[in-house]
Structure 1
Amino acid sequence: MNKLVLIDGNSIAYRAFFALPLLNNEKGVYTNAVLGFTTMLLKVIEEEKPTHMLVAFDAGKTTFRHETYGEYKSGRQKTPGELSEQLPLLRELLDAFNISRVEIENYEADDIIGTLAKEAEEKGWEVKVYSGDKDLLQLVSSNVTVALTRKGITNVDTYDLALIDETYGIRPEQIIDMKGLMGDNSDNIPGVPGVGEKTALKLLKQFGSVEAVLESIDQVSGKKMKEKLEENREQALMSKELATIFREAPVDVDLETLSFGEYDTDKVVELFKELEFKSLLTKFSGEDEDEVEASFDELNFEIVTEVKEEHLRKPAAMVVEVLDENYHEADILGMSIVNETGRYFIATDVALSSQVFLDWARDPKAEKYIFDAKRAIVALGWKGVALEGVVFDLLIASYVLDPSVSTHEIASIAKRKGSKQQVHEDEAVYGKGAKRHVPNEEELSDHLVRKANVLYSLRADLEQELRDNKQYELFFDLEMPLSIVLAKMESTGVTVDVEILKQMGEELDERLTKFQEEIHTLAGEDFNINSPKQLGKVLFETLELPIIKKTKTGYSTSADVLEKLKDEHEIISLILHYRQLGKLKSTYIDGLLKVVHNDTNKIHTMFNQAITQTGRLSSTEPNLQNIPIRLEEGRKIRRAFVPTEQDSVILAADYSQIELRVLAHIANDEKLITAFNEDMDIHTKTAMDVFHVSEEEVTSLMRRSAKAVNFGIVYGISDYGLSQNLQITRKEAAEFIERYFESYPRVKQYMDTIVEEAREKGYVTTMLERRRYLPEITSRNFNQRSFAERTAMNTPIQGTAADIIKKAMVDINERLEEEQLKTKMLLQVHDELIFEVPEDEIEKVKTLVPEVMEHAIKLAVPLKVDLDYGPTWYDAK
């Protein structure tokens, strides 16, 4: 009997990428996703013994489902460049194994798999599908099974009809109904708000399908549930459609051509050698090397019941374990300490009740090596414990040395750095998702001590590596003190006037209602504006507007379609504004209200110091760097951010055009340097140079064009990108860029030089020696290589700008402490710093902050700071 194995290429590659630490060969090519995928592939071949095989890939980001719902999969994070680079290698690997692969424009891998599984099933073949996506469970039948990856890559759960019934209590074809009701966050399928998996299954067991549920709403128990289903009728049907695998995709493949058998072993071995897959080469040569996790050697340590000074000899490696992602006020699971005298686990209650421990924790002379000092300082701070004396942070050291890796967990760092100390990954100890738990004390203490043991053993090696990379000062003088500053900012928080937010929410509700009424009046009928199907019918049938794009279920009403229709009818602008206000209300007003601390009336955002490859900080829980300020309604949200003390103000200090000033310095372009030194308007100056006109002849359009190219050049903008920004032809945009480079030849020279330097070294650096590795700069894939070249141009500029504001934060904090001022630094938003300043310190701080910011680093041009203050953050701009 023929057996067809179908593999969801993108899904398995994605799982493999995140299951393994970031690996690369000597050439700097990333290989972890390929390694994980290959390991799984060899296991499948060995266990399944397929007669036929195929790997399906997604052809691109846009599919026919986007015509139905423009926001489909919009919530997904951008695929890491380190993974994208490996996809061509995966295809090369499959070719070496003579395994067929298919991708089709406008369709997903799921559709290809669904279509081929159906065809094979009709021929009586046995079919097995491998994926990490539960959507494929809808394909299960008497002849089709679906293996879903569980932990890592090689462990799978194989679903047949019996397991689906046991797990969900429904038939495979009802999986799409379940998704229609509950939605799917990973694919941004909305479903019915408030309906989770449990409720969805209950409804399906009672009624059978989404359509049957909607037809029998009167029989649904619960008034609120009835209302939710009624209000989201079209959304539920649309969600079901989005979740449905299309099994008639245009797959131009004869099943017989998918036969799997002979392949060129030498070709596979050669590829393995190139990728440096030593373990797989050993396996391939026939040696028995099963993937069995080695049992860890026993580690001797003491569980401390009474803290004594001998337990806290300095210097000491210390792990403060907080499991929650949001570590503010979170439970501390325990602490471990490793020093020259021994290894110790200290339960939280034992530590916090010990004066010996508290005195040691707050002693700045007691040197401590920490993993994620900011997290430890904040978590202990909420318990009333001041942690000082941190001289080394393993997380930050790892980030500075390897900014492109996907995880800086202690176990991953240990593997990357070749540590001989044994430690489990956190997921292996705590589980993940619904299975996340705190283990018993025996397992917990062993895990935490092993972590501290790795930290203690790796410190000296990492410090030496930082010296070798000329990054010692970046780490010790900038990133380390910054983590302390950020901890202080997080703990301080920023006060929010909840009543103002609530009032704004009510005002937005009123405006949304008014917009809705106006839209309904212009349409001549009432309808659900949030339903693409109903909106499409109104726009293209009732109002007879030009049809821009059709979908399988009707008409596209995506934002790009509506933008093209703005001049056709006044209803379009109202709909676009209605959508913007709706997002503002749900995402920002409602979102911020959820995270205001009940006791302090403050928002304690978390600053991520070890995520971006450019060195920029990001903000989460909530993201205060992303409050929209282009819309006045969005800008007004800042009115809710107020001083904690009545006799204080909010002060904002913002670097002016910092990236362009850095560009002028790095490129050493005389014209740019002169313009900034003479305090000219840089966009006007660029317009004068590019259009060959005097200052008086520069029009607003010329200045706008110059501004677009100025900022675009920093990011390596293409003629296409500039043409889209300025609504001009690509030819005009290309001429504009050419004239710019003629005017500023040193900028062009810098860009050519930095790309060549990146090719030679494999990385670029900022002025303060922050590195960004770019192995894809030599990629055979044009898109990957082009992206790497643009990144090479931009990183030294954007990264230096990030370093400058970080240094300013450290220097300002030092000055505030030196002068014993009560002013507090609250937030960092891109190039802007926000402070709370007592009124009697305003004059002092108005001088101090710009002085420090403008002298954070010496450039060939002056750094300039715009400063303002007022009773709220909104008034400070």
Structure 2
Amino acid sequence: MKKDSMIIIDGNSLMHRAFYALPPLTNKDGLHTNVIYGFVNMINKLIEGYKPKYMAIAFDLKGPTFRHKEYAEYKAKRLKMAEDMAEQIPYLKKVVDAMNIKRLEIEGFEADDIIGTLSKKSGKEDVDILIVTGDRDAFQLIDENIHVLMTKKGISEMEEYDNEKLISQYGVTPEQVIDLKGLMGDASDNIPGVPGVGEKTALELIKQFGTVENLLENTENIKKNKVRENVENNKEMARLSKRLATIVTDVPIDAPLEDFTYKEPDYEALYELYSMLNFKSLLDKMKSYPARKEIEGSQQDIVINEIKGEAEIKQLLVKFAKEGRIVFKASQSPHGVPDYIYVSAEGRQYSIAVDEISIPFIKDVMENENIEKAGHDIKADLVSLKNIGINVENVKFDSMIGAYLLNPSKPDYKLRNIYSEFFGTEIKDYESKEGDIRQNYCSSVKAIAELIDPIRENIAKMNMEQLYNEVEVPLIEVLADMEHEGFKVDKERLLELSALYSEKLSKLTEEIYGFAGEEFNINSTKQLSVILFEKLMLPPIKKTKTGYSTDVEVLEQLSDKHPIIEKLLEYRQLLKIKSTYVEGLINIINERTGKIHSKFNQTVTATGRLSSTEPNLQNIPVKTENGREIRKVFVPQNEDYVLVDADYSQIELRVLAHISGDEGLIKSFINNEDIHRRTASEVFGVDSDLVSPLMRSRAKAVNFGIVYGISDFGLSRDLKIPRKEAKLYIDNYFDRYPLVKKYMEDIVKEGKEKGYVTTILNRIRYIPELSSSNAVQRNFGERMAMNTPIQGSAADIIKIAMVSVYKELKARRMKSRLILQIHDELIVEAYKDEVEEVKKIVKEKMEKAFTLKVPLTVDVNAGMSWYDTK
């Protein structure tokens, strides 16, 4: 019999996670709301995923606790809570109360102590406890009945820890978590620990002695002299630190377990709060508000017409042919092929089991070029149907792509959210976990059919018909084919690189320890900060809410201050390459194909650029030899093929020349000049022949910086030159290219007036930051306004080229296939006998993709690996 479960949430921890995970959000009155929004979504996700019988949320109260009385400096270094967060707490607590979740705060105790007491007390009643927090202190509470759900990457990802996982990952038992903190301390709580004992040393000591008490009684057995001396001189500090780190489990909580039973929210109160906070998406999702009956009624009206046998399928084919359009959704399954096809035609919904009888008929319909296909995220359906030998033809509508074009800055484009926006009614769609899955699929195809006309009408109103019908929708088929084809990787070479990089990392680690004069956790921001800014006395560059930053930007600014910095930068870069690309690629190679099948996403970036995931091929580094080595593992599928790589030359600068109409810039491209040399000549006032490599390099930074709306501060940082000198470069640039400056000023003004900017194909991006009262956000908005028409137009052009190249290869029935797009670059896996023809096709289609005031030029190369094509 399954035990009852209870979720206990660390309110303060999750508030901080939400604050730093989400961008600033405000309601119409200017109240910040990102903490509340993130917190509520996290609670809803927990309730939906775990369906607990009991729930509680613990918060800290202002004022000292028993720990402050024992140690006055406890949490003394903690920064004051940001005002943007503090102002949200009263409203957050009102929302929690309206959700009918028991809220606990007890004077003199921290939320950790409340959680510790409640979890241990409830655990004794044979209830499974899940503590939700971002604080590793909670690990000490783990036992047979208590697990910890640790938030990662803001609040979007969580990882559950039990006793076994804690030991395997950290090498300590729950009880030893307290001993560990007693030795190493905790800077965030200002728990001192033993001086000179970091996490690594503390782990070694705990592994040897088991507890702080045993260690203190046997200090003569500590192997390292300096560590032994520090421990012997700080025994009381170690005992104090352990006491401070210990979560108490006897807080006076008299409420019985039944008081924590999770009940239905107070929907009326919740509705008022969500309305005041402008949480439209949460209002739409409220399941039991009075409008719910109406919603459920519309859901129940959907009738599933099950189609079985040849006769019924043939009869349905006639309906599809008559209507000339089929709205469909293929059920997604773990093995990558659909179990059912759900369709909407003539106002009715049908389900067809995918089996030996139906596949030939489904194939006839899907490959019929006279029947238009419509769907939502239809690319996923195309890929799954390709896996059973069906190539869908004549895709004409995708509600996800349409909604994305109408507003490309939304966090997601789920069908139920899009439908709610257009019709104000909630539906269950194929992604819903509640209800009958087949009913939900039929609800989905019905919704898609109803969205076709309103989405098309809005696309037309915004003059995006060409972009939608000729670029984005045709691109779906291209991307589906690319995902299906995949890219072969050399697994043996990856394994060799893994071993090689491990060896290099070990060497770098020793070199870093040598410069630091001690061993420490290089990946710990806190420990690295101590080494750099306290021990080596390097000047701190940037302070965050948790201490001094050691991010890449900071390290680069410190690169000339100490030789350890160069090694740290190299270490981080190599570690990322090894974990993300070497090991990451090894883990996702398809065993059947020997390839990776990356997903290409049309609805992620606000500029219109494609993104790729699983893996993200667009972030493979190319500026370092270690990064470029990764490209060597990408190879043709067999010896009958080679890779052809075609890359636009300076497409964004060419788009800038076209949009701005600047004659000087246009002339440079028409005359096929080295644009960076020309800019250097103009900016530095020297003849072209006298431009030095340094001048050209700095001019290149100016050219590309202008595209991204760079400031003199940003340029000075990038080039490591005085800000005054950077300003001179930018001023000289605008003096030489005056219409570029005019374009920058005009587009910002236009963006403020309209609320959005557009590309050459009228792709829209809304920029609310332009009207922000916050200067930082407003400046960010101005840079987006300058850059989006340029970067977005370049994205439009490469997409046009992709569709054109794909269609030409298909029309000629060639064996060669387009398999990858990265920024301004296309890769075709070319059959050896077709290589020269492929080169001509790709170059011609890319250079003629769009007519600008300047020529588009493309560099084309072939090789036996991605690396060899460069």
1:200 paired to 2:206? no
1:394-414 residue CA offsets vs partner (Å, 9 max, x unmatched): 221121222122221111111
Matches within 5 A, 1:231-630: 294-297=295-298, 298=300, 299-306=302-309, 307-312=312-317, 313-314=319-320, 315-323=324-332, 329-332=335-338, 334-340=340-346, 342-349=348-355, 353-418=358-423, 423-425=427-429, 429-430=432-433, 443-519=436-512, 529-530=522-523, 546=538, 548=540, 559=552, 562-563=555-556, 566-567=559-560, 570-630=563-623
The 1:825–1:171 alpha-carbon spacing in structure 2 relative to 1, beyond 3 Å, is closer
The residue type paired with residue 320 of structure 1 is K
Give the conservation status (yes or no) of the 8 Å contact 1:139–1:173: no
1:178 paired to 2:139? yes
The 1:175–1:592 alpha-carbon spacing in structure 2 relative to 1, beyond 3 Å, is closer
The 1:811–1:174 alpha-carbon spacing in structure 2 relative to 1, beyond 3 Å, is closer
Give the conservation status (yes or no) of the 8 Å contact 1:302–1:345: yes
The 1:369–1:23 alpha-carbon spacing in structure 2 relative to 1, beyond 3 Å, is farther
Give the Cα separation in 2 of the matches to 1:91 and 1:528. 33
Matches within 5 A, 1:795-814: 795-814=788-807
Give the Cα separation in 2 of the matches to 1:209 and 1:14. 30
The 1:760–1:650 alpha-carbon spacing in structure 2 relative to 1, beyond 3 Å, is same
SS of 1:613 mapped into structure 2 = coil
1:129-183 residue CA offsets vs partner (Å, 9 max, x unmatched): xxxxxxx6665377xx9xxxxxxxxxxxxx8963798444899999614299989
The 1:552–1:822 alpha-carbon spacing in structure 2 relative to 1, beyond 3 Å, is closer
The residue type paired with residue 303 of structure 1 is E
Q: CA offset at residue 533 of structure 1?
A: 7.2
After superposing the two structures, state which structure 1 stretch, 340-349 or 556-565, moved more: 556-565
The residue type paired with residue 177 of structure 2 is V
Q: Please name the residue that 2:225 is paired with.
A: none
Q: CA offset at residue 581 of structure 1?
A: 1.9
The residue type paired with residue 358 of structure 1 is K
Matches within 5 A, 1:108-147: 121-122=107-108, 140=115
The residue type paired with residue 353 of structure 2 is A
Give the Cα separation in 2 of the matches to 1:540 and 1:865. 48
Give the conservation status (yes or no) of the 8 Å contact 1:364–1:388: yes
Higher relative contact order (Cα pairs below 8 Å, separated by 6+ residues): 1
Give the Cα separation in 2 of the matches to 1:530 and 1:301. 55
1:209 paired to 2:169? no
1:428-478 residue CA offsets vs partner (Å, 9 max, x unmatched): x316xxxxxxx6xxx112111111111112212222222222111111111
Give the conservation status (yes or no) of the 8 Å contact 1:651–1:835: yes
The residue type paired with residue 458 of structure 1 is L
SS of 2:306 mapped into structure 1 = strand
SS of 1:417 mapped into structure 2 = helix
The 1:30–1:762 alpha-carbon spacing in structure 2 relative to 1, beyond 3 Å, is farther
Q: CA offset at residue 296 of structure 1?
A: 2.9
Give the Cα separation in 1 of the matches to 2:23 and 2:353. 35
Structure 1 vs Structure 2: percent identity of aligned residues? 37
Give the conservation status (yes or no) of the 8 Å contact 1:392–1:459: yes
Q: Which runs of 5+ in 2 are unaligned?
A: 1-10, 45-58, 64-76, 95-102, 143-147, 181-202, 211-237, 249-270
Q: Please name the residue that 2:675 is paired with.
A: 682
Q: CA offset at residue 817 of structure 1?
A: 2.1
The residue type paired with residue 310 of structure 1 is Q
Q: Please name the residue that 1:745 is paired with.
A: 738
Give the Cα separation in 2 of the matches to 1:171 and 1:423. 30
SS of 2:705 mapped into structure 1 = helix
Give the Cα separation in 2 of the matches to 1:348 and 1:798. 43
Matches within 5 A, 1:669-708: 669-708=662-701
The 1:560–1:675 alpha-carbon spacing in structure 2 relative to 1, beyond 3 Å, is closer
Q: CA offset at residue 94 of structure 1?
A: 9.0
Give the Cα separation in 1 of the matches to 2:13 and 2:565. 43
Give the Cα separation in 2 of the matches to 1:783 and 1:174. 31
After superposing the two structures, state which structure 1 stretch, 750-759 or 527-536, moved more: 527-536
Q: CA offset at residue 10 of structure 1?
A: 6.6
Q: Please name the residue that 2:260 is paired with.
A: none
Give the Cα separation in 2 of the matches to 1:810 and 1:380. 20
After superposing the two structures, state which structure 1 stretch, 408-417 or 570-579, moved more: 570-579
The 1:670–1:564 alpha-carbon spacing in structure 2 relative to 1, beyond 3 Å, is closer
The residue type paired with residue 166 of structure 2 is A
Q: CA offset at residue 269 of structure 1?
A: 11
The residue type paired with residue 393 of structure 2 is E
Q: CA offset at residue 596 of structure 1?
A: 0.9
Q: CA offset at residue 498 of structure 1?
A: 1.0
The residue type paired with residue 208 of structure 1 is E
1:690-731 residue CA offsets vs partner (Å, 9 max, x unmatched): 222111222222222211111111111112111111112222
Q: CA offset at residue 304 of structure 1?
A: 2.4
Q: Please name the residue that 1:228 is paired with.
A: none
Q: CA offset at residue 510 of structure 1?
A: 2.8
Aligned residues: 726
Give the conservation status (yes or no) of the 8 Å contact 1:636–1:874: yes
Give the conservation status (yes or no) of the 8 Å contact 1:720–1:733: yes
Give the conservation status (yes or no) of the 8 Å contact 2:415–2:444: yes
Give the Cα separation in 2 of the matches to 1:845 and 1:599. 28
Q: CA offset at residue 815 of structure 1?
A: 1.6
SS of 2:329 mapped into structure 1 = strand
The 1:212–1:360 alpha-carbon spacing in structure 2 relative to 1, beyond 3 Å, is same
SS of 2:829 mapped into structure 1 = strand
The residue type paired with residue 684 of structure 1 is R
The residue type paired with residue 379 of structure 1 is S
After superposing the two structures, state which structure 1 stretch, 383-392 or 585-594, moved more: 383-392
SS of 1:827 mapped into structure 2 = strand
The 1:163–1:782 alpha-carbon spacing in structure 2 relative to 1, beyond 3 Å, is farther
Q: Please name the residue that 2:640 is paired with.
A: 647
SS of 1:625 mapped into structure 2 = helix
1:716 paired to 2:713? no
After superposing the two structures, state which structure 1 stretch, 681-690 or 515-524, moved more: 515-524
Which of 158, 162, 177 in structure 1 is aligned with 2:122?
162
SS of 2:622 mapped into structure 1 = coil
The 1:560–1:848 alpha-carbon spacing in structure 2 relative to 1, beyond 3 Å, is closer
1:778 paired to 2:764? no
Give the conservation status (yes or no) of the 8 Å contact 1:180–1:210: no
Give the Cα separation in 2 of the matches to 1:303 and 1:678. 66
Q: Normalising by structure 1, what TM-score? A: 0.71
Give the Cα separation in 2 of the matches to 1:38 and 1:195. 21
Give the conservation status (yes or no) of the 8 Å contact 2:13–2:133: no
The 1:502–1:117 alpha-carbon spacing in structure 2 relative to 1, beyond 3 Å, is same
Give the conservation status (yes or no) of the 8 Å contact 2:132–2:149: no
Give the Cα separation in 1 of the matches to 2:580 and 2:652. 30
Q: Normalising by structure 2, what TM-score? A: 0.72
The 1:675–1:183 alpha-carbon spacing in structure 2 relative to 1, beyond 3 Å, is farther
The residue type paired with residue 702 of structure 1 is M
SS of 2:639 mapped into structure 1 = coil
1:829-856 residue CA offsets vs partner (Å, 9 max, x unmatched): 1110111112222222222211111110
The residue type paired with residue 139 of structure 2 is M
Give the Cα separation in 2 of the matches to 1:489 and 1:857. 23
Give the conservation status (yes or no) of the 8 Å contact 1:317–1:452: no
Give the Cα separation in 2 of the matches to 1:551 and 1:37. 21
1:366-406 residue CA offsets vs partner (Å, 9 max, x unmatched): 22212122111101111233322322122211212221222
SS of 2:652 mapped into structure 1 = helix
